[in-house]
Amino acid sequence: MEPKITILFIGKKSRTTRHQLLPVYLRVTIEGKRFEVASHQHVKPSEWSPSAGKVKGRSATAVETNMQLDLIKKRVYDFKERIHIENREFSVNTLREKWFGEDRTKRTLLGVFRLSIMDLEKLVVKGLYQKSTLVKYKSTEKHLIEFLQWRNNGCDILLVDLRIEFAGHFVYYLQAEKGLSINSSGKMIKNLKKVIRDCVDKDWLDKDPFWRYKVKHLDPKIPHLSAEELKRIEEKEISIERLAMVRDMFLFSCYTGFAYVDVAHLTADHIKIGPDGKKWLIKCRQKTGISERVPLFPQALCILSKYENHPRLSNSSKLLPIPSNQKVNAYLKELADICGIQTQITFHIARHTFASTVTLENGVPLDSVSKMLGHRSIKTTQIYAKVSDKKISDDTKILFRKFRSFPNNAMA
């Protein structure tokens, strides 16, 4: 008797990507037991039909994605036919064995990590992930290889042999042997945990050996310029053209909160008219794809106007002639010396200065600052919200006025 089989494609909302794309999973149910695996296809939620299990419409992308899903479905039936030819029962276990091409008890940590990186490389090519994400996973892989060499004479470890202690030993190695900080080693562990969770989703593991391991994190100290230091840079007379230009680029970021890569790619298309009738900068962050929406303050507008006809922009749509990030940071060190500023200035400190000194210290609500910075979560913005002595002084002025109005005998 033929086993009852159901083949579905489902969009997993719980696994939505940072670009708000829905990953499509294959779900095969055989006699009430499920086999589920990623199809490596991603769609916009609005274009996915849950009832039909395919992409809506007849666009080129929809046709191509649906064709890939049909091929995956055909693969299931091909495996079913092969299993029958071998006189074996078609079940979740035999399908899994055929699908993955080897018994899951033979899979190793470095083997699956390499497969994850190969999958990520394809997603980077499609523009679904940033290249910087791929670099971080490759760095984690490199440290894992060195850790296994240090701990186990270079021998790989089977997935089924992984235990929670492995994560603790890996962290010790990263911190004690490699000198990584708590936060840096924590990011490595997060990458490792992500790969292992994917292994569970692919049914290569029955459970996640690291699910109880808590990654430690310390709130970083976010350096930024004080209002006095910012004013000192603004008012300093600078005769060296390259330093004057970098000073302007830095100040532009201080008054917009845009990171280097976003300043470098600004065009006139990113200038919009906001709800207040004034000019705004509206652009998706290169790092996350989340929109930054910042009103253009007079200081930023002045800088844009100053470089409007700069020779380096004559054959470009860019708004600002910013040098390379390496040169900018080198010149900023000179600028700090000239201005007598002790803080080691990098271009990214301008973004921190916008968040702390320019906005939060001047009473702009945290949720508005979060929106302007293009943060995915307000928790990210909260690391900038360290209350300064100036903010305490400003916030308690009302109290002082109130207390001075008390009668002399009011406290008696």
pLDDT tens digits for range 252-271: 999 999 999 999 999 999 99
CA 117 to chain centre: 16
Task: Categorize the per-residue pLDDT at 412 as very low, low, confident or very high, splitting at 50, 70 and 90.
Answer: very low
If pLDDT is split at 50, 70 and 90, which confidence band does 408 have?
Answer: low
- The CATH superfamily assigned to 227-396 is Intergrase catalytic core (1.10.443.10)
The pair of structure tokens assigned to 103 is: 């018994």
Dihedral, CA of residue 323, residue 329, residue 335 and residue 336, to nearest 10: 160
Q: Residue ranges per domain, the chain? A: 5-101, 106-201, 227-396
Which of 231, 296, 225 has its CA nearest to residue 266?
Answer: 296
Whether 346 shows a pLDDT value over 60: the answer reads: yes
DSSP state of 26: E
Whether 20 has a pLDDT exceeding 70, the answer reads yes
Residue 400's Cα: distance from chain center in Å? 44
Which pair of tokens denotes residue 334? Answer: 């000179």
How confident is the prediction for the chain on average, in pLDDT? Answer: 88
Of 265, 299, 288, the C-alpha closest to 373 is: 288
| pLDDT one-digit tens code per residue, 282-339 | 998 887 788 899 999 999 999 999 999 898 888 888 999 999 999 999 999 999 999 9
Residue 214's pLDDT band, with cuts at 50, 70 and 90, is: very high
